[in-house]
Amino acid sequence: MDIYSFLNLFGGLAFFLFGMSVMSKSLEKMAGGALENTLKKVTSKKVMSFFLGAGITIAIQSSSAMTVMLVGLVNSGIMQFSQTISIILGSNVGTTLTSWIMTLMGVDDGSFSVMSLLNPKGFSPICAFIGIAIVMFAKRDKKKEIGTILVGFSVLMYGMQFMSGSMSGLSKLPEFQSLLVAFKNPLIAVLVSTVFTGIIQSSAATVGIVQALALTGVISYEMAIPLVLGANIGTCMTALLSSIGASREAKRVVAAHIYIKIIGTIFALAALFIVDITPLADYLSLPTNAVGVAIIHTIFNVVNTFLMFPLNKFLTFIVMKTIPDKDIKGQKRVFLDERLLLTPAFAVGECKRVCDEMANLSKDTLLMSLDLVEQGYDDVKDAIIVENEKLVDKYEDKLGTYLVKLASAALSDSDSREVSKMLHCIGNFERISDHALNLSLSAKEMKDKKLNFSEKARGEMETILGALREITTLSADVFCSNNIDEAKRIEPLEEVIDVLTAEAKNRHIQRLCDNECTIELGFILTDLLNNFERVSDHCSNIAVSILELRSDHYNTHKYLSKVKHNSERFDMLFDEYKNKYTLD
C-alpha cells in the first residue's frame, strides 16, 4: 500500500464527478425547456408533483440541481413554497437511480460471460468508443449529445472502478481499519459523511465511495446506514448555498429540503438503535455489498417520502416557524433569477414565459393607444400607457442581459434557436410600445389644440386602425404560441398597411389642395401614419424571426424577397386583406 492508492481514490472521485457532470448536462440539454412548463402545470397535484420530481431528477441526474431550480422558480414568484414539497420528495427518490447503476461494479467478471459484460470493465470501453464515434461523425447536435452522455457515463464508471481498486489496498492499512472502527458510532459516521458530502456537493459520489468500500468487504450494514444518511443530509449544501440572497419564500424551499433529510435521519437512527438491542443486531454486523448500499439508499428515501406525506402540514409548520412571514409581502419579486442559469433548459422556459408577458403587455399598450386615436384622448389611459412603456423597457433590459448570458450556456439546438428568436423579438416589442407612447402624445396634442379630422379622414383612419389592431394582436399571439402557419399571414397584412398608409397620405395631400384640411392637422396625420407603418414593420420582423429561426440560418431580406415574389399563398393572403381593409 502506497501513496498511489490515495491518488487513485481521489483521481477516481474526480473522474466520477466529471462524468456525472457531463452526463447530467447533456441529459438536461436533450430534455429542453419543456420540462419547466410541465413542472409548473402539475404542481397543484401532490402525487403528480412527486412523480414529476422523480422523473426530472432521473432525467438530469441531480437532485441538487433540481432543488436549486426550485429555489429560483420560487424566488421569481412563479411557484409557491408549498408547491415544492412533493417535488422535493420525488427528487429524493429519483436520485437513488445512480446508486443502482453503481451496483454494476459488483457483477462478477472473473470469466467471459453475458453477465461479465454487465461489469464496467466489459461495457465502459464499448460505450466510450461508440460515444466518441457519435460525437466525431454525427452532424446533428442532438445525436452528439447522446454520444456525450455515453462518454460521460463511461468516465463515471471508470471513476467508480478507480475508487474501488484503491479501496482494496486501503482496507488493509491499520490506520484505515482504526478509522472504520470510528464509523461504528452512528453519530460520528453521519457527521463525517455529511461534512464530506457538503464539501464535494454530491451525495451520489459519497454513496459511490461507500459502495466501493462495500466491495472490499470491510463495511457492515450498521456502518453503511449512517454513512448513507449523512450523504443525504450533506447534499443539501448546494441548495443552501444557492439560497444566499434569495427571498424568504425561496429560503423556505431549502429549509424544507433540510428538514426532510434531518427528520428522516432521526427516524432512521432511532430505528437502527432499536434494532441494535434486538436479536436482529447480528444481521447488522454482516458485511454489505454495493447492492446492499443501494437498497439502504432507496429504502431511506422511499420510507422517508411515505413518512413526510402525512407529516406535510407539520413540515410546513416548522418551516414557517423557522422562516416566518416577517416582511415577506414587502419583498420585490425577482425578474429573472440567476440561479436558473445553472439549469439552462429550465432558464429557457422561464425566459419564454417572461417574453410572452412582454409581448402581451406591448400589444395591450399599443391597442390602448389606438383607442385614444380613434375615440379621443383620456388622461387615465395615457397614464397607463406611460407606465406600461416603462415596464416594457425594463423587460427588454432585463431579458436582453439574461438571454445573452443564457446564449453562452450549453443548450440544445431547439433551445438555442428559441433564445435567438427571443433576442430578435424583444427589441421589436419594445419599439412597438414606444410607438404606442408616440400615438398617445399625438392624441393629446389634438385634444390640447382642439383639432379634429374631417369625416373622410376619420373613415380612412378607422380602416387603418382595424388592420393595425389585427396585425399587432396576430404578432403577439404567434410569438406566444409559435404558430408557424399564422405567422405567414403577417407579412401580407403588413404590405396592405403600407398601401393603406401611402394612399391615406396621397388623399391628405389632395384634401390640402382642395382646402378641406389644414397644415397643422397634416403634421399630426403624418406622424400617426408613420407610427402605424413602423408598428407594422416591427410586426413583420417578429414574424420573420419566428419563421426563419426554425433553421440555422437567418436572413430577413432574403426571406422577404422570396416570400413576396412568386408566392401564391402570399398573393392570396394579400388579396384577402386588401379586400377586407379598403379605403372608401
Read off φ and ψ for residue 287, nearest 5 degrees. Answer: -70, 145
The topology under which CATH files domain 344-580 is Methane Monooxygenase Hydroxylase; Chain G, domain 1 (1.20.58)
Give the residue among 544, 400, 551, 412 at the shortest CA–CA distance from 478: 544
- How far is residue 542's CA from residue 121's CA, in Å, rounded to a whole number? 53
- How far is residue 38's CA from residue 349's CA, in Å, rounded to a whole number? 10
Cβ neighbourhood burial of 355 (10 Å; 0-12, 13-18, 19+): buried
Give the residue among 279, 274, 183 at the shortest CA–CA distance from 229: 183
HSE-CB for 88 with a 13 A CA cutoff? 28
Instruction: Using DSSP, state whether 408 is helix, strand or coil.
Output: coil
Contact residues for 106 (Cβ-Cβ < 8 A; gap 6+):
211, 215, 289, 290, 291
Q: Would you say 535 and 468 are in contact if contact means Cβ atoms under 8 Å apart?
A: yes
pLDDT value at position 122? Answer: 62
Read off φ and ψ for residue 48, nearest 5 degrees. Answer: -65, -40
- How far is residue 74's CA from residue 67's CA, in Å, rounded to a whole number? 11
pLDDT value at position 463? Answer: 92
Instruction: Using DSSP, state whether 21 is helix, strand or coil.
Output: helix
pLDDT value at position 238? Answer: 79
- How far is residue 81's CA from residue 325's CA, in Å, rounded to a whole number? 12
- The per-residue b/e assignment along 514-533, b for 16 or more CB within 10 angstroms, e otherwise, is eeebeeebeebbeebbebbb
Q: Partners of 287 in the beta sheet?
A: 220
Helix pair 519-548, 455-481: axis angle to 10 deg: 20
pTM: 0.69
Write the DSSP assignment of 148-195 as a string of letters: HHHHHHHHHHHHHHHHHHHHHHHTT-HHHHHHHHHTTSHHHHHHHHHH
Q: Partners of 504 in the beta sheet?
A: none
Q: Where are the domains of the chain?
A: 3-322, 344-580
Q: Taking the CA atoms of 444, 447, 449 and 451 in sequence, report the sign of the dihedral they define.
A: positive
Radius of gyration of the CA atoms of the chain, in A = 32
pLDDT tens, N- to C-terminus, the chain (584 residues): 456 666 777 787 787 778 767 776 776 666 555 555 566 565 567 778 888 888 877 766 677 777 877 887 787 777 778 788 888 888 888 888 878 877 766 545 444 444 444 555 666 778 888 888 888 888 777 778 788 878 877 887 777 667 666 665 655 556 555 665 566 788 888 888 888 888 877 788 788 888 888 877 778 888 888 989 998 898 888 788 878 777 788 888 889 999 999 999 999 999 888 887 777 777 888 888 888 888 999 999 999 888 888 888 888 888 888 888 764 444 445 577 787 787 787 788 888 989 999 999 999 999 999 999 988 889 999 999 999 999 999 999 999 999 999 988 878 778 888 899 999 999 999 999 999 999 999 999 888 888 888 888 888 889 999 999 999 999 999 999 988 889 989 999 999 999 999 998 888 888 777 777 777 778 888 899 999 999 999 999 999 888 876 554 555 555 555 555 567 888 888 899 999 998 87
- How far is residue 27's CA from residue 152's CA, in Å, rounded to a whole number? 10
Q: Would you say 170 and 191 are in contact if contact means Cβ atoms under 8 Å apart?
A: no
Q: How many helices (H) and strands (E) are present in the chain, helices listed first?
A: 26, 0
pLDDT value at position 328? Answer: 45
